[in-house]
Amino acid sequence: MLHDLHLAARVADDAVLLKDGRIVAAGEADAVLTAPAIAEAYGIDVEIGRTPQGHRYIFPVAR
Protein backbone atom coordinates (compact mmCIF):
# COMPACT_ATOMS: atom_id res chain seq x y z
CA MET A 1 0.00 0.00 0.00
CA LEU A 2 1.30 3.45 -0.95
CA HIS A 3 0.06 6.91 -0.06
CA ASP A 4 2.57 8.75 -2.25
CA LEU A 5 0.87 9.33 -5.61
CA HIS A 6 4.13 9.97 -7.45
CA LEU A 7 5.64 6.71 -6.19
CA ALA A 8 2.43 4.80 -6.88
CA ALA A 9 2.36 6.16 -10.43
CA ARG A 10 5.91 4.98 -10.95
CA VAL A 11 5.67 1.43 -9.59
CA ALA A 12 2.03 0.32 -9.34
CA ASP A 13 0.29 -1.86 -11.90
CA ASP A 14 -3.09 -1.42 -10.18
CA ALA A 15 -4.43 1.31 -7.91
CA VAL A 16 -7.39 2.20 -5.71
CA LEU A 17 -8.32 5.78 -4.82
CA LEU A 18 -10.38 6.30 -1.67
CA LYS A 19 -12.27 9.32 -0.37
CA ASP A 20 -13.86 9.22 3.07
CA GLY A 21 -13.58 5.42 3.08
CA ARG A 22 -15.31 4.88 -0.26
CA ILE A 23 -13.73 3.82 -3.53
CA VAL A 24 -13.49 6.64 -6.06
CA ALA A 25 -11.66 4.58 -8.69
CA ALA A 26 -10.05 1.13 -8.91
CA GLY A 27 -8.27 -0.81 -11.62
CA GLU A 28 -5.15 -0.45 -13.76
CA ALA A 29 -2.98 2.43 -12.54
CA ASP A 30 -3.09 4.29 -15.88
CA ALA A 31 -6.90 4.27 -15.79
CA VAL A 32 -7.21 5.12 -12.07
CA LEU A 33 -4.47 7.70 -11.56
CA THR A 34 -6.04 10.43 -13.67
CA ALA A 35 -6.25 14.14 -12.92
CA PRO A 36 -10.08 14.10 -12.52
CA ALA A 37 -10.03 11.08 -10.19
CA ILE A 38 -7.22 12.55 -8.08
CA ALA A 39 -9.05 15.90 -7.90
CA GLU A 40 -12.19 14.10 -6.72
CA ALA A 41 -10.36 12.01 -4.11
CA TYR A 42 -7.89 14.59 -2.78
CA GLY A 43 -9.16 17.99 -3.93
CA ILE A 44 -5.89 18.85 -5.68
CA ASP A 45 -4.90 19.58 -9.27
CA VAL A 46 -2.05 17.51 -10.69
CA GLU A 47 0.13 17.24 -13.75
CA ILE A 48 0.47 13.68 -15.01
CA GLY A 49 2.92 12.53 -17.64
CA ARG A 50 5.79 10.23 -18.50
CA THR A 51 9.53 10.71 -18.29
CA PRO A 52 11.67 10.13 -21.40
CA GLN A 53 12.32 6.65 -19.95
CA GLY A 54 8.58 5.92 -19.88
CA HIS A 55 7.98 6.21 -16.11
CA ARG A 56 4.70 7.82 -15.05
CA TYR A 57 4.85 10.87 -12.79
CA ILE A 58 2.27 12.88 -10.83
CA PHE A 59 3.05 16.37 -9.52
CA PRO A 60 0.69 18.72 -7.71
CA VAL A 61 0.09 22.08 -9.39
CA ALA A 62 -1.12 25.35 -7.91
CA ARG A 63 -4.76 26.27 -8.46
pLDDT, tens digit, for every residue of 43-60? 999 999 999 999 999 999
Residues in the chain, total:
63
Does an H or E element contain 14, and which? strand 14-19
Q: What's the rounded Cα separation, in Å, for the pair 46 and 59?
A: 5
Is 63's pLDDT higher than 80? no
Q: Left if phi > 0, otherwise alpha if psi is -120 to 50, otherwise beta: which for 8?
A: alpha
The confidence score (pLDDT) of residue 60 equals 93
Model confidence, pTM: 0.85
The confidence score (pLDDT) of residue 32 equals 95
Helices (H), ranges, 1-63? 5-11, 29-32, 35-42
Q: By percentage, how much of the chain surpasses pLDDT 90?
A: 79
| pLDDT-based confidence at residue 1 (cuts at 50, 70, 90) | confident
Residue 54 DSSP label: S
